[in-house]
Structure 1
Amino acid sequence: MMVLSLFDRFSTATHWLLASGIFALTLTALLLLKALAARQLERLRALHDYGFLAYLRELVSSTRISFLVAVAVLAGLTQLALPDRNQKWLQYAFVIIFVLQAALWGNRALSVWLDRSFQSHKASNPSGVTHLLVVGLVLRILLWVVALLMVLDNLGFNITTLVASLGIGGVAVALAVQNILGDLFSSVSIALDKPFVIGDFIVVGNYMGTVEYVGLKTTRLRSLGGEQIIISNTELLKERIRNYKRMEERRVAFQFGIAYETEVEDVERVPGLVREIVLGSGELVRFDRAHFMAYGESALQFEVVYFMLTDNFNKYMDVQQKINLGILRELRRHGIAFARPTRVVHMAEYARTGDANVSGARSLPAQAAGPAPEMLRHGRRQ
């Protein structure tokens, strides 16, 4: 019996020595592997700064010593026959350390993604930085909640009741702050879909202005009058948004009328004159058409259509002014008159007798009587 007891003690000591050796070798190998990986990644970054290398560097640097020690301890314990109770507690400890380490890896990867997104949005869309902060916060909360639930589940807790309680509580909170959450998700939708960015000139319903700020709850416009217009993000997305900053070219259509007394030859000449005026108004103009469109109530109506190859409103107005002056100049040079609303009043019987009570004659107010009777006798226009 004494020999067997000594043999058991020797065997146990041997197993402990073997477990200690495996632990030491495993921990040393893991530390060397981490240092080597970090050095190689830094060398590769100096040669080629690929995007995925940033993720790998953060994963290596965020690997905790406690995790490496836990892996080494687990490797060494494979040589020992421990009681079931001790193995169970060791398993719990390892699960906790592994889940926390996985959460740290995910948190670092998320940080790298947010940093790279910040840099890309800083110049093109500064408002996107605010939304990325919200997205990052939400993703981090979800990451650590999932990690906590996994730890509790592996420790033997019944998380079904906990998840149900969180669900009921979440519904209650969501109902209480549904307006705020609606604006929050609308701001995230604006950040992801990008219907507009800061600096764009937009029209929303009856409001128009330049986007100055896109926040978590509201969007702020600077109107043409100078005042600031603050619109809820939820209400903003319910309206149809017209973004003039993204207009590649502007279609311009306008009309003018000339007098009915204009000769037919002059009427035929007008579309060609307008075409030459529009084509000569600048390189940013593309002529489309000019037509004698219709017989108006008091004018021969013409319609002109051209395209501005820029979204700049001031340049458009400069070109339109140049075209208007050109049309005015050319029509006057050719003796073509613009139409004005006119009315012809025939008062032949009144002009002959001078009696306002003659049957069939119309009685007009003094201010509408117009020129002298001798002018009306000849059918002159007023």
Structure 2
Amino acid sequence: MNYVVLGNDLTSWAIALGITAAVCIVLYTVNGVLVRRIGAFAAHTATHIDDMAVKILSKTSSLFIIVMGVYAGCQWLEMSAKSEALVRNLAVAALLLQVARWIDVGVRGWIDFYRKKRGATDVASTTSTAALTFVVRAALWLIIVLMILDNFGVNVTTLVASLGIGGIAVALAVQNILGDLFSSVSILLDKPFVVGDSITVDKLAGTVEYVGLKTTRIRSLNGEQIVFSNSDLLKSRIHNNKRMQTRRIVFAVGITYDVTEQQLRAIPDMLKEIVSSQEQVRFDRAHFKSYGPSSLDFEVVYTMLTADYGVFMDVQQAINMELFCRFAREKIDFAYPTQTIKLDNPDVLRGAAANEEFASDREPAVEAPTILRPNAQ
């Protein structure tokens, strides 16, 4: 007996199943052979392209292979126009999803390779690739989803327009989040700082640990983690200490007013000699700046030829030590806050003080007792 199932006899179904199985076996075999052959070749090469190809082909989905086999088998069957269109649309959707997966794996693999290759010499790659990965993958899957919907007959133009109107409403509701997102893109493109930079923001100093889509995280000098929103961070004045090349140092020295004229004139040359003798230092100037309330003030300016803070502190310490020793040898005293009171007639005040002292040494007089008498009536 010749049985007919869904418009096709058993022979046609058997042939269709055979075609399906054959196509699946061929696709599995070809994919496995390519992965093994390219993998063996990649083991003896230094390029990353073949390694990338192996990684991409190894992500071929079994569901995709089965759908392709079913689609090939259905070509042998007699099907209605509606059923044939449904099978074709499912096959196209499976193909698009598989292509998207291959591209997604390729993008992530390339970005990982770029990070490893440039991370040691270009720290900015860590910052930029994080946002770049998100943007590329989001755009990829959005395009694939729209293509699949269009393949199934959905009016993509109307959908995109509806999404645009809804997007405006959502944008108004989450404008702070979108502001941080666009700020992260600005950080990505402009690179005012990158991961690993030492920066100062509003008197808060630390090292950049992470730059995300919404926040940037900084490890402070005290050890805690400080989290800034990207928009607030870009509104602040950022001091990138890592990009500092030199340091301009200004410090003051005060001496007492009882210094001699010869000592006073010798101090600027003495300061210049002490500062110029240090390594990695470019002397700028040393001047008798002003008359202070209790000191004669000198100002010294020099430039460190390195941005290393530890080296700067070693140099400043050496300057202070040598300055202390030189002033001690020249009998020049450092000033400290003092006040001197000058009297117009000191002799009168001395006499008054002596009288008070004499009066305090005398015995106090004994007062006579007071007798209270009643009033006469």
Q: TM-score, normalised by structure 2?
A: 0.66
Query: What is the identity, as a one-letter code, of the residue corresponding to 2:315?
Result: V
The residue type equivalent to 1:157 in the other structure is V
For 1:300 and 1:201, locate their aligned partners in 2 and report how far apart those are by CA, in whole Å. 35
SS at match of 1:157: coil
Are the equivalent residues in 1 in contact too, given 2:123–2:196 (CA < 8 A)? no
What CA RMSD, in Å, does the superposition of the two structures yield over aligned residues? 5.0
Q: CA deviation at 1:323?
A: 0.8
CA apart distance, 1:221: 4.7
The 8 Å contact of residues 268 and 288 in structure 2, kept in 1 or not, is answered as no
Is the aligned partner of 1:290 residue 2:285?
Answer: yes
Pick aligned residue for 1:235 from 214, 232, 236:
232
Partner residue in 2 for 1:326: 322
Offset from partner CA, 1:228-265 (integer Å, 9 cap, x none): 64433321121011122443432212233556775665
Instruction: Report the Cα distance in structure 2 between the residues aligned to 1:165 and 1:191, rounded to whole angstroms.
Output: 30
Deviates most, 290-299 or 335-344? 335-344
1:44-55 paired onto structure 2 within 5 Å: 44-55=41-52
Query: Bigger shift: 219-228 or 252-261?
Result: 219-228
Shift of 1:293: 5.4
1:179 aligns with 2:176: yes
Q: Any conservation in 2 of the 1:26–1:72 contact (CA below 8 Å)?
A: yes
In 2, Cα distance between equivalents of 1:158 and 1:252? 68
**Of residues 95, 98, 102 in structure 1, which corresponds to 2:99?**
102
Pair 1:351 & 2:348 matched: no
Letter of the structure 2 residue corresponding to residue 39 of structure 1 = R
Shift of 1:33: 5.0
Alpha-carbon separation, structure 2, partners of 1:99 and 1:208: 49
Which residue number corresponds to residue 251 of structure 2?
254
Q: Shift in Å at residue 105 of structure 1?
A: 1.5
Partner of 2:156: 159
Tell me which residue corresponds to 2:369.
none
Distance 2:129 2:181 in 1: 9
Kept in 1, the 8 Å contact 2:115–2:125? The answer is: no
Q: What whole-Å deviation, never above 9, does each CA across 1:83-141 have from its counterpart, x for those lacking one?
A: 97777556534432332222122222133235446656998979959983x76455444
Partners of 1:121 and 1:129 within 8 A in 2: no
Query: In 2, Cα distance between the equivalents of 1:23 and 1:326?
Result: 91
Q: Contact conserved, 1:67 with 1:101, CA < 8 A, in 2? A: yes
- Structure 2 segments unaligned to the other structure (5+ residues): 1-10, 354-377
Aligned partner letter, 1:292 = H
Looking at structure 1, the residues matched to 267 and 138 of structure 2 have their Cα atoms a distance apart, in angstroms, of 71
The sequence identity of aligned pairs, in percent, is: 40
Check conservation: 2:217, 2:226, Cα contact below 8 A: yes
In structure 2, give the amino acid aligned to 1:325: M
What aligned pairs does 1:157-236 form with structure 2 within 5 A after superposition?
Answer: 157-187=154-184, 189-190=186-187, 195-196=192-193, 200-211=197-208, 217-221=214-218, 223=220, 229-236=226-233
Q: CA deviation at 1:322?
A: 2.3
Change (3 A) 1:292 1:148: closer
Residues 111 and 129, structure 2, Cα contact 8 Å, conserved in 1 = no
Q: Which residue of 2 aligns with 1:144?
A: 141
Give CA-to-partner distance per residue, 1:51-81, whole Å, 9 cap, x none.
Answer: 2223322332234566667778989999999
Query: 1:369 maps to what in 2?
Result: none
Cα separation, 1, equivalents of 2:226 and 2:39: 50
Equivalence for 1:277: 274
Match for residue 42 of structure 1?
Answer: 39
Any stretches of 5+ residues in structure 1 without a counterpart? Answer: 1-12, 356-365, 367-382
CA–CA separation in structure 1 for the residues paired with 2:53 and 2:213 = 32
TM-score of the two chains, using structure 1 as the length reference? 0.65
